Amino acid sequence: MKKIILLFCVLAFIFESHAQDLDLIVGRNFTVYDYTNSQGEENPNLSGASGSYYSITYSVPFNNKSEDLYYFVGLAVNQFNATGGDYASSYRWDTNYFGIRSGIKYMFTSPRSFIRAGVKTGFGLSKIINGQQKINGTTFDLTNEDEFTAISVEPFIGLEARYFVSDKIGLGLGYVYSKSFGVANGDTEKLNFNNSRLEFGITVQVY
């Protein structure tokens, strides 16, 4: 927790003189595991499951003359979960990933519009912080499994809309699609995540 607070303070200091928006976002992930074993075989018994999403993000305009194109950076916690099984057994994965995300967004409505809407794209880097695999009542620690401990690279694309209830406070709604790729662990088993997310947020205009 101390490392998370320290990293957030560093980000806040970097953007202190230019920060435009601070977004506090919660969401719901709907995840499908894309898994292949060491022989390259997939598991047809895997099913998607839902999980939570939390992030805090700074958005900064690329220049002082534009209120349409923004750069953003932030911290996020993702739950990428799944279920599976057959007639002989049932299992479930519950995971929490912490990471940093960065990207750009373009607002295609006027700053004076009743609702501000736009598109965004970017990528995230994340690492598992805790996770469990439950098989027929037995629980295993996923942080000891190579296919889960890989650093995940997550490119994403999405839409967002915000309605400002005052000059400084806005309420937001969004949708994001992403795919996470596990890299840099050297394991022959591969695990990726296909994820759709609904987002709900509060925007605070700093300046």
Multiple choice CATH, 2-205, 2.40.160.20, 3.40.430.10, 3.40.50.300, 3.20.20.70:
2.40.160.20
Judge if pTM exceeds 0.95: no
CA distances from 197 to 53, 104, 116, 157 (A): 8, 18, 20, 11
What residues contact 4, with CB distance under 8 A and at least 6 apart?
75, 98
3-state secondary structure of 9: helix
Tens digit of each residue's pLDDT, the chain (207 residues): 555 445 545 544 544 444 488 999 999 999 988 877 666 666 666 788 999 999 999 999 887 666 789 999 999 999 999 887 776 678 888 999 999 999 999 999 887 788 999 999 999 999 999 999 888 878 888 888 777 888 889 999 999 999 989 888 999 999 999 998 876 555 566 778 899 999 999 999 886
Within a 13 Å sphere around the CA of 127, how many CA atoms are in the beta-carbon half?
A: 6
What the block records as the tokens of 75 is 């911290």
3-state secondary structure of 152: strand
Token pair 């598992």 in the structure block, residue = 128
What residues contact 151, with CB distance under 8 A and at least 6 apart?
125, 126, 127, 182, 183, 184, 185
Q: In whole angstroms, give the CA distance from residue 44 to residue 27.
A: 28
Considering only CA atoms, which of 64, 59, 71 is closest in space to residue 20?
A: 59
